[in-house]
């Protein structure tokens, strides 16, 4: 049904060989630097300043200050110049040693790197094409020579993407990562098992900014097809969030540089990207986003039966059953043999039927409620009339009795 059968793309691997420290990757050493004390020589320091600990003295203290200066010059301890030289040497030594230490890239212990050789070139970023050499330090099954990919589009595993953005051209570093930044729970059949920790040596050999605006139509089409296949790779692994990310990045690229390129081929690819994005949203039950993506796909290619099906499915899930049936009937005309369309159409019909029954029941209850209220009001009115008649009858009886008594009194 869906255009989601792309081949798997490049990735990366290794074992749990983490210097016998398990999940923590490395064991941090605590560096202890011995402190020194020195008596000021009174001479300028290396940067041309005077020692900070020398204060201003009064005339009465000049003698004491002169004796202290003489003692300082005679002391065998290091001068400020010598002390600064030692400190500088220690600093350079620490910097050099730091190169051999593991750096926690994200602060979570799940992605570590250690520089083995400094680079002197530029540092790449998103939309840079890079070339790297990768050595799988454990199993050797995920090594690549002169691997080319585009940064920022999840074209390779996350560990490579993140680390390469920190490197300069010419740099070589060693990388360790948790499964989360490699092949995750799925692994990579047949050589990389589920939840496998990886370890690599990566060398960044070149990088260059990709000028997408200068792409010819065929170049843009080729790039979008590659990104669609990468998204299909994640979809096939049921990694829907990653697939959504790749499809959206590809669509964003098309919106920036492809909208002015009127070409049927690239337009159809863009329509397929929107359609595949709709499929991903359907898998995670985001039906409003699914509907929006399907409609965007149809704007580019109104004969995209897959997008038409997703539009009808979204409308059905959102309760717009009458419109859903209309759209699904159109999709069935385009592809009468598609069982998924037929199944969704029957579901929409049942939902519409249930809705009608519910509406009729609601109307019946409303009308029944009105009738009951009228009966109650009528009953109350009858009671009021009876009460009035009773009062009037009593009043008339009293009047009659009064008249009778009046005549009886007058007669006697």
Give the length of the chain. 412
* Pairwise CA distance, residues 282 & 278, whole Å: 6
Burial 285-313 (b: 16+ CB within 10 A, else e): ebbebbbbbbbbbbebbeebbbbbbbbbb
* Pairwise CA distance, residues 401 & 155, whole Å: 110
pLDDT at res. 213: 85
pLDDT at res. 204: 98
DSSP H or E segment with residue 203: strand 198-209
Phi, psi of 16 (to 5 degrees): -95, 30
- How do beta strands 144-150 and 128-136 pair? antiparallel
> Which residue shows structure tokens 């096939």?
236
Phi, psi of 104 (to 5 degrees): -85, 100
* Pairwise CA distance, residues 297 & 274, whole Å: 5
Inter-residue contact 167 to 186 (CB < 8 Å): no
pLDDT of the chain, 412 residues: tens digit per residue: 556 644 444 444 333 334 433 333 433 343 433 444 443 444 443 443 334 443 444 455 545 544 545 444 444 445 555 665 676 666 556 555 555 689 999 999 999 999 999 999 999 999 999 999 999 998 889 999 999 999 999 999 999 999 999 999 999 999 999 999 999 999 998 889 999 999 999 999 999 999 988 898 999 999 999 999 999 999 999 999 999 999 999 999 999 887 666 788 899 999 999 999 999 999 999 999 999 999 999 999 999 999 999 999 999 999 999 999 999 999 999 999 999 999 999 998 888 777 555 555 655 666 665 555 555 566 666 666 666 776 766 777 667 766 666 666 665 5
Rg (CA), the chain: 42
Question: Is the backbone peptide bond immediately before 190 cis, with ω within 30 degrees of 0?
Answer: yes
pLDDT at res. 283: 97
Inter-residue contact 277 to 248 (CB < 8 Å): yes
* Pairwise CA distance, residues 40 & 46, whole Å: 13
Inter-residue contact 255 to 292 (CB < 8 Å): no
The answer, as to whether pTM is greater than 0.75, is no
* Pairwise CA distance, residues 170 & 167, whole Å: 8
pLDDT at res. 351: 84
Nearest in space to 317 (alpha carbons), one of 343, 359, 286: 286
Helical packing angle, 264-283 and 217-236, nearest 10°? 20
pLDDT at res. 295: 97
* Pairwise CA distance, residues 74 & 378, whole Å: 121
* Pairwise CA distance, residues 281 & 240, whole Å: 8
Inter-residue contact 114 to 103 (CB < 8 Å): yes
Q: In this structure, what token pair is assigned to residue 171? A: 């740099």
- Looking at the DSSP bridge assignments, the partners of residue 104 are 112
**Domains of the chain with CATH codes:** 104-210 (3.10.50.40), 217-352 (1.25.40.10)
Whole-angstrom CA distances from 243 to 165, 215, 240, 318 are: 22, 24, 5, 24
Distance of CA 302 to the CA centre of its chain: 30
3-class DSSP state for residue 104?
strand
Inter-residue contact 311 to 274 (CB < 8 Å): no
Burial 175-208 (b: 16+ CB within 10 A, else e): bbbbbebbbbebbbeeebeeebbbbbbbbbbbbe
pLDDT at res. 42: 44
Phi, psi of 139 (to 5 degrees): -100, -20
DSSP H or E segment with residue 377: helix 339-411
pLDDT at res. 257: 85
């Amino acid at each position: 049904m869906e255009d989601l059968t792309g081949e798997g793309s490049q990735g990366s691997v290794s074992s749990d060989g983490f210097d016998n420290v398990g999940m923590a990757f490395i064991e941090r050493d605590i560096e202890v630097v011995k402190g020194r004390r020195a008596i000021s020589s009174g001479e300028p320091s290396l940067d041309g300043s005077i020692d900070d600990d020398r204060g201003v003295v009064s005339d009465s203290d000049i003698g004491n200050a002169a004796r202290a200066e003489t003692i300082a010059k005679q002391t065998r301890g290091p001068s400020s110049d010598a002390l600064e030289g030692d400190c500088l040497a220690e600093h350079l030594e620490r910097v050099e040693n730091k190169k051999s230490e593991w750096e926690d890239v994200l602060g979570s212990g799940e992605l570590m790197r250690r520089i083995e050789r400094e680079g002197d070139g530029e540092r790449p970023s998103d939309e840079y094409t890079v070339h790297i050499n990768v050595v799988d330090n454990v199993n050797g099954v995920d090594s690549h020579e002169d691997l080319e990919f585009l940064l920022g589009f999840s074209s390779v595993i996350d560990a490579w993407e993140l680390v390469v953005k920190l490197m300069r051209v010419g740099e070589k570093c060693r990388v360790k990562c948790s499964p989360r930044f490699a092949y995750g729970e799925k692994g990579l059949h047949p050589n990389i098992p589920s939840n496998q920790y990886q370890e690599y040596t990566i060398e960044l050999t070149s990088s260059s900014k990709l000028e997408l605006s200068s792409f010819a139509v065929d170049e843009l089409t080729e790039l979008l097809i590659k990104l669609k296949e990468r998204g299909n790779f994640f979809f096939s692994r049921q990694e829907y969030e990653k697939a959504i990310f790749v499809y959206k990045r590809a669509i964003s690229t098309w919106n920036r540089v492809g909208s002015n390129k009127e070409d049927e081929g690239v337009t159809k690819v863009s329509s397929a990207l929107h359609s595949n994005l709709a499929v991903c949203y359907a898998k995670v039950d985001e039906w409003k986003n699914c509907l929006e993506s399907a409609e965007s796909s149809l704007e580019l290619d109104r004969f995209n039966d897959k997008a038409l099906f997703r539009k009808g499915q979204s409308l059905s899930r959102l309760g717009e059953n009458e419109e859903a049936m209309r759209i699904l009937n159109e999709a069935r005309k385009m592809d009468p043999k598609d069982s998924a369309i037929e199944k969704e159409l029957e579901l929409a019909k049942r939902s519409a039927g249930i809705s009608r029954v519910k509406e009729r029941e609601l109307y019946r209850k409303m009308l029944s409620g009105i009738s009951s209220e009228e009966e109650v009001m009528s009953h109350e009115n009858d009671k009021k009339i009876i009460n009035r008649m009773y009062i009037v009858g009593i009043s008339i009886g009293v009047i009659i009795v009064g008249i009778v008594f009046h005549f009886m009194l007058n007669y006697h």
